[in-house]
């Protein structure tokens, strides 16, 4: 099993921060915590976090500002951002948070089941993201038939390979270059053959 990601907690309320630290630690995560958004941002610039649990309302940089800044960073890793809120999420607040790039929400008071559920989803999304990055990197592919070699040293169609790992389906089309290189000559050959058959039939 792959090691769990470190959870970065940003919460200015001491009791809530300790609760989040204890719950995430009990679930087997390594924890880094900050009591304000400014210190958290300074640490994020160095550590490039994968999972952040942040309060919404804080002095200095609040949760939304932290999320916006993280989304604006050029990074090779994705940050799964969970926003903690003490108030009922109105449609306006929800849209504002989503626009900032928030992935999920935790409502106070926070329970162990809620933390476990959110972190489980975070791990799944981060795992999916890593799979996509792996697919985007060097993949062993046959230079002739374009089949992909799997980890079991088997060869399968690239559509099947990608679908099994990401759930993505393919739609097929033909690029302009291949239309000129393959399709158009085939059409011209078909037309020529048809004209010859018609001429033979008429003679």
Q: Pick from 8, 179, 173, 16: which is nearest to 85 by CA?
A: 16
- Does pLDDT of 1 surpass 50? no
Q: Are 56 and 63 in contact (CB under 8 A)?
A: yes
pLDDT band at 203 (very low <50, low <70, confident <90, very high): low
Residue with more model confidence, 158 or 25: 25
H helices of 52-145, where?
63-72, 91-100, 112-136
- Gyration radius of the chain's alpha carbons: 26
- The answer to whether the bond into 164 is cis (omega within 30° of 0) is no
For the stretch 84-111, pLDDT in tens is 987 666 677 788 888 889 999 988 888 8
What would the mean pLDDT of 30-51 be, rounded to a whole number?
91
Domains of the chain: 7-136 (3.40.50.2300)
H-helix or E-strand containing 33? strand 31-34
Question: Using an 8 Å Cβ cutoff, are 120 and 28 in contact?
Answer: no
- Residue 27 token pair: 């679930």
pLDDT average, residue stretch 3-12: 88
Confidence of residue 81 (pLDDT cuts 50, 70, 90): very high
Q: Are 112 and 100 in contact (CB under 8 A)?
A: no
| C-alpha distances out from residue 197 to 129, 183, 184, 187, Å | 56, 21, 20, 15
Calculate helix-pair angle for 63-72, 91-100, nearest 10 degrees: 30
Say how far apart CA 140 and CA 142 lie, in whole Å. 7
Query: Per-residue confidence at 7, pLDDT binned at 50, 70, 90?
Result: very high
Burial call 7-16: b when 16+ CB within 10 Å, e when fewer: bbbbbbbeeb
Q: What are 42-54's pLDDT values in tens digits?
A: 999 888 889 999 9
Q: Could you give the CA distance from residue 149 to residue 151 in angstroms, rounded to a whole number? A: 7
CB 41 within 8 A of CB 66: yes
Residue 40: predicted pLDDT: 93
Against a cut of 0.85, is the pTM above it? no
Cα–Cα distance list, 49 to 69, 92, 137, 153 (Å): 12, 28, 22, 34
- How would you classify residue 129: left for phi > 0, otherwise alpha for psi between -120 and 50, otherwise beta? alpha
Average pLDDT over residues 50-79: 89
pLDDT at residue 34, as a whole number: 95
pLDDT of residue 52: 96
Residue 64 has what pLDDT? 93
């Amino acid at each position: 099993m792959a090691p769990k990601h470190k959870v970065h907690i940003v919460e200015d309320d001491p009791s809530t921060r300790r609760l989040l630290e204890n719950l995430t630690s009990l679930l087997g995560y390594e924890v880094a915590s900050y009591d304000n958004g400014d210190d958290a941002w300074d640490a994020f610039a160095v550590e490039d976090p994968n999972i952040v649990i942040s309060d919404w309302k804080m002095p200095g940089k609040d949760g939304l500002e932290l999320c916006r800044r993280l989304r604006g960073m050029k990074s090779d890793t994705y940050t799964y951002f969970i926003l903690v809120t003490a108030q009922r999420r109105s449609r306006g607040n929800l849209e504002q948070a989503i626009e900032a790039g928030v992935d999920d929400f935790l409502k106070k008071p926070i329970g162990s089941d809620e933390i476990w559920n959110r972190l489980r989803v975070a791990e799944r999304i981060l795992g999916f993201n890593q799979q996509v990055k792996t697919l985007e990197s060097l993949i062993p592919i046959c230079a002739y038939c374009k089949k992909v070699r799997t980890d079991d040293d088997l060869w399968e169609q690239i559509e099947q390979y990608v679908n099994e790992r990401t759930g993505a389906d393919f739609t097929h089309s033909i690029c302009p270059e291949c239309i000129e290189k393959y399709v158009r000559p085939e059409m011209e050959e078909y037309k020529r053959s048809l004209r010859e058959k018609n001429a033979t039939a008429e003679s």
